[in-house]
Structure 1
Amino acid sequence: MNSAVAEKAGLEERVKLAEHIADEIETRIIRSFHHELKVAAKGKHDFATELDKANETFAQNLVHESFSGDYFFGEEFGGSGTEGSTYEWIVDPLDGTNNFVRGLPLAGFQLAIVNNGEIVHSVVRRPFTQERYH
């Protein structure tokens, strides 16, 4: 298998994982809406919920289990893995936390896969408006 074919296969496997992570987190967001969640202030107008942290941990664990050499950066906990890796994952585990905490259905999930500094795949889910972008 030449390197271009191997690279494409590696990206395809990462895309499958990204979509799986997004499906699961989308379900978690819907299930948690209007439920009492622990909320911590990160700044004057910035919050993190236990759902933010659980979603990020879930995504991070799956990425590292499947692609141990990849770098993972999440909004809540920062980076883990090998910095400077060929592949990097960037995750916002609950985009729109402030809206979510206030009971506004304007929240979602975002993930990007970066290969050598270039975004090669992204996933955006807005479960309450049923918007899906990739």
Structure 2
Amino acid sequence: MVKAARRAGRSLAKDFREVENLQVSSKGAGDFVSRADMAAEGIIREVLREARPNYGWIGEESGEEEGKDPTRHWIVDPLDGTTNFLHGMPHWAISIALEHKGEVIAAVIFDPAKDEMFVAEKGQGAWLNSQRLRVSNRNRMIESVFETGLPFA
């Protein structure tokens, strides 16, 4: 998953530098971003299929496809944060997960702009690059910080 995310990240980073030069007339830039999104999904699919050819596939762009192993599926959003990407904002990522019997057992989120690779595996913990992530012991909302993005209506 890490290899697939990095490879797609290189492709999207190149495209991101180009989209900043486009006029954001929703059609031209939007079509460009759609092509970048689909190309990234193709790269991810190629790398993951090479590693695990029998797994199924659920891709944001290409939809769902059963594999020879009906219990495992790759779940992929090749460009998570398309609106930010389209507007030249460096807040987007590549999201890849592995589902087994309806449960996500591993995931990778790669932010090429910051070169941050988040990796998590059931029972093994979560990591940001080589640093172990830990869950806070805060239990009151007032003590916490959280962030979200709201899509356009």
Scaled by the length of structure 1, the TM-score of the pair is 0.72
1:22 corresponding residue in structure 2: 5
Residues 109 and 51 (structure 1), Cα distance of their counterparts in 2 relative to 1, 3 Å cut: same
For the residues of structure 2 that align with 1:84 and 1:24, how far apart are their CA atoms? 25
1:13 corresponding residue in structure 2: none
Give the number of aligned pairs: 111
For the residues of structure 1 that align with 2:47 and 2:69, how far apart are their CA atoms? 19
Instruction: List runs of 5+ in structure 2 lacking aligned partners.
Output: 20-27, 120-153
Q: How does 1:1-134 map to 2 (within 5 A)?
A: 18-36=1-19, 39-40=30-31, 49-82=34-67, 85-134=70-119
Q: Secondary structure at the match of 1:33?
A: helix
Shift of the alpha carbon at 1:126? 1.2
Largest Rg, 1 or 2:
2
Amino acid of the structure 2 residue aligned with 1:57: G
Q: Secondary structure at the match of 2:18?
A: coil
Are the equivalent residues in 1 in contact too, given 2:41–2:77 (CA < 8 A)?
Answer: yes
Amino acid of the structure 2 residue aligned with 1:110: S
1:43 corresponding residue in structure 2: none
- What is the CA RMSD across the aligned residues, in angstroms? 2.2
Identical aligned residues as a percent = 28
Structure with the larger helix share: 1
For the residues of structure 2 that align with 1:121 and 1:74, how far apart are their CA atoms? 16
Amino acid of the structure 1 residue aligned with 2:83: N
Q: Secondary structure at the match of 2:17?
A: coil
Instruction: List runs of 5+ in structure 1 lacking aligned partners.
Output: 1-17, 41-46
